[in-house]
Amino acid sequence: MIIPSTVLIEVAIVMSRAVGSEIAKMVYKRIMKHTTEIIYLNENFTNYSMERGIETHLSGFDTVVFSCASYMNSVLVTNDRRFFRNLKNHHPETIIYYLKEMSVEEL
């Protein structure tokens, strides 16, 4: 699993709002443990994301996630239906899966 560092921030924030900070920290640690690579925003990747964002017209966070998958030439898995549909419709070259529609075998 390859993720941009902004995903870790987003997951922690969303989880803390939903279930509290202790569980959010536990989920954060599990993600860190099972991640092959974390792409931290640096100048080169930030510029790459900015260029992709201008091309795609995605939101800031979606642009970073999309840029990460594009930069690493990897498969993108999301649980965000709007993001999934946007990429499916406007970027068919992207290999993307919608988590809620995946079977256990596909995971």
- What is residue 77's predicted lDDT score, i.e. its pLDDT? 93
Q: How far apart are CA 23 and CA 29, in angstroms?
A: 10
DSSP string, 60-86: HHHHHHHHHHHHTT--EEES-HHHHHH
Residue 67: CB partners within 8 Å, gap ≥ 6?
4, 45, 48, 49, 52, 53
Computed over its alpha carbons, how large is the radius of gyration of the chain? 14
Q: What is the pLDDT of residues 10-35, one digit of tens each?
A: 777 777 878 888 888 888 888 888 88
Q: What is the pLDDT of residues 89-105, one digit of tens each?
A: 888 899 999 998 988 77
* Tokens (6 digits) for 27: 């989920």
Q: Does the pTM of the predicted model rise above 0.85?
A: no
